[in-house]
Amino acid sequence: MKPPIVRLPKMGPAAHNPGVLPATPEQIRAALDLIDATETVAVLTGAGMSTDSGIPDYRGPDSPQATPMLYDEFVTSVENRRRYWARAFRGWSRMGKAHPNAAHDVLARLETHGRVRGVITQNVDGLHEAAGSGNLVALHGRIADVVCLGCAAVTSREAFQHELARLNPETADDPEAGHAELRPDGDAVVSDWQGFVFPDCPTCGGILKPDVVFFGESVPKQRVEQCFSLVDDSDALLVLGSSLTVMSGLRFVHRAVKAAKPVVIVNRGATRGDELATIKLELGVADFLAAMEAHTRVG
């Protein structure tokens, strides 16, 4: 018989404000008990999952200043695409070598043990897949793929990287190529990009774009419905390392709340979903997941 869903009172204003003290052991225990009172949990992850893998986020307490490329900027300007691909070429030398961290590994094990029904990730880095998460929806796509906006052909980013290296041999041989400052989009800070050469689609001549959802671009409807189904089929929602600043992630919190399902948010800093959360913990995701795994074994 499925245990009843327990709706705990909110932890109070101190759990919702940036700069507050870290979550107490009592608060962490309350969140673990809440999750333990359910059969399965849907998990929504954000950039805070990948910072320990060396990938910066946009809005964390220590994140660098970064302005993302907007979809309209990318598709309407050759020079914007040139700047993007010059930076992305540099960034891939590090982004493409990133490895899952302990948080990714624990989350995959919790799915194997049946405590996590599935994962919705806002990240495009592919680290959940690499860690072994099976029931996974990459909400914003995967940066390891390149898609043609004309004919929809998809090629690997690795192959595209080799083509960029062939077209830009001087850049490819730059000894500083692997040391440029990585940005949250997976690109890197590059000051000299005006001469960078990048190809169009070899099949139809269309614009080639990383197969990720840019800011200002809509998530495919079928993908959103898949995420809604995951939330609907779970007993609670656990948000890990997301500020929930954009509606593409926040809508799943609204979905869970509307269905009277508990929502636990674990993040360093305030989120747009704090006032909707059953429990908000000011805590790193790796610390919480380690506690959740230990709690699952004991319980």
**pLDDT tens track for 237-256:** 999 999 999 999 999 999 99
Q: How confident is the model at residue 132 (pLDDT cuts 50, 70, 90)?
A: very high
Between residues 165 and 56, which one has the greater pLDDT? 165
Q: How confident is the model at residue 295 (pLDDT cuts 50, 70, 90)?
A: confident
Asked if the structure places residue 6 within a domain, the reply is no
Asked if the structure places residue 8 within a domain, the reply is no
Give whole-number Cα distances, 277 to 12, 201, 273, in Å. 11, 45, 6
Q: What is the mean pLDDT of the chain?
A: 86
**204 and 248 together in one domain:** no
Residue 221: CB atoms within 10 Å: 8
Asked if the structure places residue 223 within a domain, the reply is yes
Q: Give me the number of domains the chain comprises.
A: 2
Q: Are strands 141-148 and 154-156 parallel, antiparallel or unpaired?
A: antiparallel
Top mean pLDDT of 95-99, 173-177, 241-245 is at 241-245
**Is residue 94 over pLDDT 80?**
no
**Is residue 43 over pLDDT 60?**
yes
Asked if the structure places residue 166 within a domain, the reply is yes
pLDDT of residue 115: 93
Cβ atoms of residues 264 and 220 within 8 Å: no
**Is residue 4 over pLDDT 90?**
no
**Is residue 259 over pLDDT 60?**
yes
pLDDT of residue 292: 95
**Is residue 92 over pLDDT 60?**
yes
**108 and 152 together in one domain:** no
User: How far does Cα 152 stand from its chain's mean position?
Assistant: 24
124 labelled as ligand-binding? yes
156 labelled as ligand-binding? no
**Is residue 101 over pLDDT 70?**
yes
264 labelled as ligand-binding? no
Between residues 87 and 206, which one has the greater pLDDT? 206
pLDDT of residue 180: 44
Domain assignment of residue 170, given as a range: 71-98+144-212
Q: How confident is the model at residue 10 (pLDDT cuts 50, 70, 90)?
A: very low
125 labelled as ligand-binding? yes
109 labelled as ligand-binding? no
Give whole-number Cα distances, 164 to 58, 81, 99, 168, 199, in Å. 27, 13, 23, 6, 8
Q: How confident is the model at residue 56 (pLDDT cuts 50, 70, 90)?
A: confident
**164 and 94 together in one domain:** yes
User: What are the pLDDT digits (tens) for 104-115?
Assistant: 999 999 999 999
From 113, 140, 254, 295, active-site residue:
140
User: What are the pLDDT digits (tens) for 179-226?
Assistant: 444 454 555 455 567 889 999 999 999 999 999 999 889 999 999 999
50 labelled as ligand-binding? no
227 labelled as ligand-binding? no
The pTM (predicted TM-score) of the whole model is 0.85
User: Nearest 5°: phi and psi at 165?
Assistant: -65, -40
Active site residue 140: yes
CATH number of the domain to which 195 belongs: 3.30.1600
Amino acid at 156: S
126 labelled as ligand-binding? no
**130 and 148 together in one domain:** no
**276 and 264 together in one domain:** yes
